[in-house]
Amino acid sequence: MGRRTKLLILFFAVLILAVLSRPILDLIPYKYATGNTSADHLSPERVKVISPDRIVKLINPQPSATVLDLGAGYGLFTFPLARMVGGSGKVFATDVEPQVISYLNEQARKEGLTNVTPVMVKSFGFDQFYSQHTFDIILASDVLPDIVMLEGFARKLRPSLKRDTGRLWITVTRADPDFTDLEFKEPVNLSETLRIPKVQSSIGPKFRKVTRQVSDAPAPNSPANLVELMVEDANRLLEDPTLWPEAQSKKWPLSPRNRYLLQGLSDLLERRGVFKKTAGTLDEESKLALRILNRFIIMDLLGLKLWGKAVVFTDLTEKDARHQVHKFETPISSEAIISLFRGAGYELVKEHNTTPYCYIFEFKSTTL
C-alpha cells in the first residue's frame, strides 16, 4: 500500500470520526415530509400567531434600507419588509429550495414589488453571496436549527452587517408557549365545549370549580370571563406530570393524528423519570418537552387548532416526529442564543416581548 493511499485512508478515518463524534441529525439538514408548502408557511393561522406585520413594525426598516431576509421561505416577512423600505430600498430573500425562489419571484411580480431579489444559496455552509453585500438589517426567522455550525456561520455573516447602525434580528417561534385568549376564541361556544362527553370524561374535571360553574351558568354569560378562566386553567396544566399517565391509564379519547409526536415525547420524558416527579421540580429541558406534550393533549381534547396549524407540528410522519423530538431533547434556549451570538461578535441590544409565541432578539455588530 502506497504512502498516498495510506494518507487518504487516514484522512477519511479522521473525517468519519469527526462526524460520528456529533449526533448525525445535527449534521445533515433535514427536510420534513409535511409543512413545506406555501399554503403551510403563509396560512391564516401562521400569520395570526406569528404576527409578521407586528414584528416588521418593530424592526422598523427605514425607506431605502437594504435588508436581508435570511432563509426567507415563502416570504412571510419578505413582502411586508419590501413594502416598508419602499422603491428606493432593497430586500434580498435567500433560500436553499428552487421552488421557493420561483415562488418569491412570481409573487414579487404579482405584487409589483421590484425591490425584492430572491437569491438561491447553498444548503450547507456559508454562501459567498452574503459576503458580497452590506445590510442595514438582517432578519433570520426560524432558521437557526437548520444552520449547521451556527456560531461559525454567524461569525462569517457579521462583516455583512453595517457597523453601529446595522441590526441583526433573530426570531424563534416558541415550541412551548403559554395558551392565550387568541386560541380559546376558536371554538364557537366554550360552554358547549366543556359539556361534551369527550371533555367531561377526560380533562374537564381538571379545570377549577369556578371555571365549570361559569360554563354551566345560564345565558347571558360573560364569554370574556370564561375565556380568561380557561386560559388560566390550561396554563396551570402545562407543567402537570400526571396528565399523560392519567390520559393513558383512563384511555382518554385522544386523536391518533399526533400519535408519533406524543409517543416520542412521552418516551423521552419516561427515560428522564419526569412522570415520577412533581410540578416545580423539573429541569428546563424536561419542562419544555412536558409542556409540549401536555399542550397537545389539551388542544386535542378542547378542539384548539390555531397554534398547531401555525407551527405545522400536526400530522407528522413517524420519521418527522422522531426528528422533531430530537430537537426538543436538545433545544436552543434564549440564554444559549444570546451567548452564541455574543461569541460570534454581536452585542445584544434587546430581547423583545412583542408576541407570546416568539422569542425576538435584536443584535448589533461589535469588534472581536
pLDDT, tens digit, 9 for 90 and up, residues 18-66 = 444 444 444 455 666 666 789 989 999 999 999 999 999 999 999 999 9
- Range 83-109 burial, b when 16+ CB lie within 10 A, else e: bbbeeebbbbbbbbeeebbebbeebbe
**Do 282 and 348 sit in the same domain of this protein?**
no
137 lies in some domain: yes
240 lies in some domain: yes
pLDDT at 33: 61
pLDDT at 56: 97
5 lies in some domain: no
Judging by DSSP bridges, how do beta strands 346-352 and 116-120 pair with one another? unpaired
Burial class (CB within 10 angstroms; exposed 0-12, middle 13-18, buried 19+) of 341 = buried
- Please state, as a whole number, how many other Cβ atoms lie within 10 Å of the Cβ of residue 302: 24
- The enclosing domain of 102 has a CATH number of 3.40.50.150
**Do 226 and 340 sit in the same domain of this protein?**
no
**Do 146 and 193 sit in the same domain of this protein?**
no
14 lies in some domain: no
pLDDT mean values, one per 10 residues, the chain (368 residues):
53 43 47 75 93 96 96 96 96 96 97 97 93 97 89 96 96 93 77 88 92 72 75 95 96 93 95 87 89 95 90 82 85 89 96 93 86
Name, in order, each residue with C-beta under 8 angstroms of 151's C-beta and a sequence gap of 6 or more. Answer: 340, 343, 344
**Do 108 and 238 sit in the same domain of this protein?**
no
Residue 332: name the closest of 284, 270, 264 by CA.
284
Name, in order, each residue with C-beta under 8 angstroms of 22's C-beta and a sequence gap of 6 or more. Answer: none
Q: State how far the Cα of 200 lies from the Cα of 214, in Å rounded to an integer.
A: 15
φ/ψ of residue 350, rounded to 5? -170, 145
297 lies in some domain: yes
pLDDT at 62: 94
Residue 180: name the closest of 117, 235, 244 by CA.
235
**Do 55 and 77 sit in the same domain of this protein?**
yes
313 lies in some domain: yes
**Do 61 and 90 sit in the same domain of this protein?**
yes
Query: Which residue matches cell numbers 387548532?
Result: 305
**Do 146 and 162 sit in the same domain of this protein?**
yes
0.95 exceeded by the pTM?
no
**Do 250 and 342 sit in the same domain of this protein?**
no
pLDDT at 137: 98
Name, in order, each residue with C-beta under 8 angstroms of 91's C-beta and a sequence gap of 6 or more. Answer: 67, 68, 69, 78, 81, 82, 85, 115, 116, 117
**Do 216 and 171 sit in the same domain of this protein?**
no
pLDDT at 177: 94
pLDDT, tens digit, 9 for 90 and up, residues 292-319 = 999 999 999 999 989 988 887 778 888 8
pLDDT at 277: 83
Query: Which residue matches cell numbers 422603491?
Result: 87
pLDDT at 36: 76
**Do 325 and 248 sit in the same domain of this protein?**
yes
pLDDT, tens digit, 9 for 90 and up, residues 72-94 = 999 999 999 999 999 999 999 99
Provide the domain limits for residue 228. 181-329
Structural domain total, the chain: 2
197 lies in some domain: yes
**Do 192 and 323 sit in the same domain of this protein?**
yes
* Axis crossing angle, helix 318-329 with helix 259-271, rounded to the nearest 10: 40
9 lies in some domain: no
**Do 79 and 169 sit in the same domain of this protein?**
yes
Please, are residues 365 and 345 in contact by the beta-carbon 8 Å criterion? yes
pLDDT at 238: 96
